[in-house]
Amino acid sequence: MPLYGLRESEAFLDYAPEMERLDVEPLTLPRAEVLQVMFEIDDQWMQRLLPAALHPTIPPSVTFVLWRCPESKWGPFEMAQVRVGCRAGVRPRGFPLITWCDSDRASDALRSGWGFNCRPGQVRLKRSHDRIVGTVSTGERLVLQVSLVDPQPISGADVQYVANMHMARVREGAALVPRLVQVDPEFVMHRADRGQPVVDHFEREPSTGGVIPVYPVSASCTVCDITLPRLRYLTDPDRPAIQGTQTIAAAS
């Protein structure tokens, strides 16, 4: 029997963005740097981290993903996400539990246009000769630090990023209803490195309390052009994705 998420959608709504429209135009973020660190996590929590529409991966996993975007229509910004590995039907996806962004303009646009659950944070992605380090601080408090140690160049074709499923409150008639919004950016690779994944510091909070990294899997860092997409699919978070997914054109 397949395993499904056990957490009710209402538990994710404190930071779920409001999306009045679903017709955002694609937008390219040139020469962005992306650090992704993946770990297996304690399996006792895996179903309680996800809504009913999604299946946990076996083994369960978390990806810490940081973007450093030197250029955008909102100015430069950096963003970090803690994403639980999952599947929507049979397709691999990432479900962000928490997202931080250091730009108010970028946060507002990412929330309203694509459903990123951004909250304020000082995000920094730094490269040195022996490691690439990503950090997130709120105020004076360090809440996340992950590293790729001993970077080695690889082909960009060896790196694959999965689409996100964002919990948002979407306008349907007179009401805002919980929906999972699929966001599947396109990536054009210019450079890629891999190395040893390390979680140096991770301060869990209620939204990430079940994320306990136990086994390192992979770490990669790329320089790429990211194109945020036109939105295509919505999913009812309280029904299996294979039953509760519809195209946005059909939902309009």
The per-residue DSSP string of 113-130 comes to: HH---EEE-EEEEEE-SS
pTM of the predicted protein model: 0.96
Q: What residues are paired with 67 via a beta bridge?
A: 34, 79
Output the pLDDT for position 123: 98
Question: How many domains does the chain divide into?
Answer: 1
pLDDT over threshold 90, residue 202? yes
Asked if residue 131 belongs to a domain, the reply is: yes
Domain for residue 44, yes or no? yes
CB proximity list for 185: less than 8 A, separation 6 or greater: 161, 163, 226, 227, 228, 229
- Domain with 82 in it: what CATH number? 2.40.400.10
238 in a domain, yes or no?
yes
Residue 3 in domain: no
Taking only the tens place, the pLDDT of each residue in 55-90 is 999 999 999 999 999 999 999 999 999 999 999 999
Let me know if residue 13 belongs to a domain: yes
> Residue 4: inside a domain, yes or no?
no
pLDDT band at 250 (very low <50, low <70, confident <90, very high): low
- Percentage of the chain lying above the pLDDT 70 cut: 99
Residue 173 pLDDT > 90: no
CA distances from 29 to 38, 179, 185, 248 (A): 23, 26, 10, 24
Name the pLDDT band for 178 (thresholds 50, 70, 90): very high
230 found inside a domain: yes
Q: Determine the structural domain holding residue 141 and report its residue range.
A: 9-251
Residue at 94 is within a domain: yes
| pLDDT, tens only, 118-141 | 999 999 999 999 999 999 999 999
33-61 tens-digit pLDDT: 999 999 999 999 999 999 999 999 999 99
Instruction: Say how far apart CA 163 and CA 137 lie, in whole Å.
Output: 26
Rounded to whole angstroms, the Cα distance separating 184 from 226 reads: 10
What is the average per-residue pLDDT within 220-248?
A: 95
pLDDT on residue 196: 98
